[in-house]
Structures are given as C-alpha cells and as structure tokens.
Amino acid sequence: MPWTCVATGFNRRSCIVCPWHQYKITLGEGEALYQAVDDPTRQPLRTHWRSKGVKQRVHKVREVNGNVTVTLSDSSEIMESDAYETEKYRTLWFKAGPKSSPECYKK
C-alpha cells in the first residue's frame, strides 16, 4: 500500500497514518484504531482509543549496518487489506484515475 508512513503514537502504540483517510494502523499488530466517544450527550466529550481489529498484514523489518531487510509474513490468514492487492482492485483504482486519488499519490 503506497502510504506516506508517518509513525506516531496513539494509545502508547506506534502507528502509521493514512494521508488520505487518516486511518491509524498499529505497526506491531496491523490493528486499526479509532477514537470513540463514551457519551456524546455529556460535555466535555470523553474519548478513548478503540480497535476495529486486525486489518493489515504485518511484516518484520530489520536494519543492520544501514541495510534494511524485510521478512514477509508467512501467515495464511486472510486480512481485510489483502483485497487491495488483487488485480480487480488495481484495475478499478487505476481506471478511476487521478481525480479519485489523494494528493500524496499524484507525483
């Protein structure tokens, strides 16, 4: 997924943030996080981070002496994000053209 990776902390967990949707995905687990409101009728609003579950495949990354090694996940479990790596999705996405793409993809 061609995200501009911005590592930041949410609920004391390192995440990347999608520049298009502002989705927050934990780096260690691939879990999608969102900010929930306890009671929308109470002021001030009290929020906390919740999980939507694991949505993204996670790969092991190591840096040794300036060399980066990525070990792909060997999990056979189907992840929600796997759909974006299908030929059908890529064909639809590229057919839609730049008008449906976020600014970060228009380079």
Q: Domain with 59 in it: what CATH number? A: 2.102.10.10
Cα separations (Å) of 103 from 21, 59, 73, 106? 12, 26, 30, 5
- How many domains is the chain partitioned into structurally? 1
What token pair was written down for 26? 């934990």
Q: How confident is the model at residue 70, as a pLDDT?
A: 93
Domain extent for 95: 8-99
Contact between 38 and 50 (Cβ < 8 Å) = no
User: Does residue 1 lie within any of the structural domains?
Assistant: no
Q: Is the pLDDT of residue 69 over 60?
A: yes
The rounded distance, in Å, linking the Cα atoms of 78 and 80 is 7
Residue 105 inside a domain? The answer is no
pLDDT tens figures, 10-58? 667 788 887 777 888 888 899 999 888 988 898 998 888 889 999 988 8
Q: What is the pLDDT of residue 1?
A: 44
Q: Is residue 104 part of a domain?
A: no
16 or 1, higher pLDDT: 16
